[in-house]
Structure 1
Amino acid sequence: MTYFDKDFLFVPLPNPNSEPNLTMAQIRIDPLAIQLQTLETETLLKALLRAKVHLDAICGGKGYCGTCVVHVVSGATQLSPVTAQEQTILNNLKKSSDTYRLSCQAYVRDGETVVCDLPSRTLTKLQQILDRLKNRYAPKDIRHPRTGELLVKQGGIVTQDILERLLSA
């Protein structure tokens, strides 16, 4: 199932102290304006899942199905090299490995921020979730993803204004 869990408000960072030789890499997910850091040992898919942005990965992240493909807007040189298997899948999907990657196969290296667009089906599901929240009681506190500002307390009404602020974050 493809969806964005808006219960996510702050992406916890991996602990670089647990593996001191590793450096942190930066990912930005547009148009959701989510920024997160990841260790170089974590695939793009795992980083997205940690941020509760769920992409289909029918093969379980083994690089066989192509359902976790993302568009790399910038920073493609910061990603691990494309494998032969990944290239075959991208060719079958008619996607260029210069601008598309299987998120389960791409590791982000330290340096320039990697900016990714999510598949439209993920964004459509996000809009459906937000539409269901409109004019309902918040299941828990909802904070602005960038500033941390409390937008609505648990039990408060989720208004159109709050949803617009979340989408424009």
Structure 2
Amino acid sequence: MKQIKLQPLNQEVEVSTDSTLLSVLLEQEMNVLQACGGQGRCATCHIYVQSGKEALSPKSEQEILTLSFITTSQENSRLACQARVLQDGLVIEVPQGMYIGSIGELKSLIGKRAQQNLIHPLTGDVLVEEGKLILRSALEKMAEIDSTFTTDLSQILLPPEKSKVLHK
């Protein structure tokens, strides 16, 4: 068993060697969306390693690719579904709030109060603050972010002539 610390909860937990950080977060009953089912493709389990990054498995190519699209990604960013605990001494920071994986998911919450900040997974933008009523304007904000992100992404990944065809 390995010891890790979860921030900002200031909670120490024991985990089995080779467990993913996602399994640890779920065991602690933290609300992690895991929209892609733990495949490292959606960024809804993005966390930060405060110390002990050597206690984790190396980043996979998929994780590196997904993290490259996240605007809030930092050197110490990891996807909890991809990072496996190998040693003691790890301290991770879980962002305050819940990532929203799709407009459909956000739409199902309209009319309710946000139990915690609702966060866009790729930009880290707060769509709805904790305690606020979830309104249709949050859908518009998410759609605007998604549209801007898709446009930016297509300009990075596609040759200029094909990018123009997509945005006519």
With the length of structure 2 as denominator, give the TM-score of the two structures: 0.56
Q: Deviation digits for residues 10-67 of structure 1, max 9, x if unmatched?
A: xxxxxxxxxxxxxx22211111111111112310000110111121210011111111
Provide the rounded CA distance (Å) in 2 between the counterparts of 1:110 and 1:117: 17
What is the aligned counterpart of 2:28 among 51, 59, 65?
51
The answer (yes or no) to whether the contact 2:4–2:91 under 8 Å persists in 1 is: yes
Q: 1:77-122 CA distances to partner (integer Å, 9 max, x unpaired)? A: 11100001100000111313x30100000001123x2111111214
Query: Any stretches of 5+ residues in structure 1 without a counterpart?
Result: 1-23, 130-169
**Who is 1:114 aligned against?**
90
- Matched residue, 1:73: 50
Match of 2:78 in 1: 101
Q: Distance in 1 between matches of 2:42 and 2:80?
A: 11
Mapped partners of 1:40, 1:60: distance in 2: 21
Q: Please report the RMSD computed on the Cα atoms of aligned residues, expressed in angstroms.
A: 2.1
Corresponding residue for 2:37?
60
| Matching residue of 1:83 | 60
CA distance in 2, matches of 1:70, 1:114: 12
Greater RCO structure (CA 8 Å; 6+ sep): 1
The secondary structure found in structure 2 opposite 1:53 is: coil
Question: When the two structures are aligned, how many residues end up with a matched partner?
Answer: 103
Higher-helix-fraction structure: 2
TM-score normalized with structure 1 length: 0.56
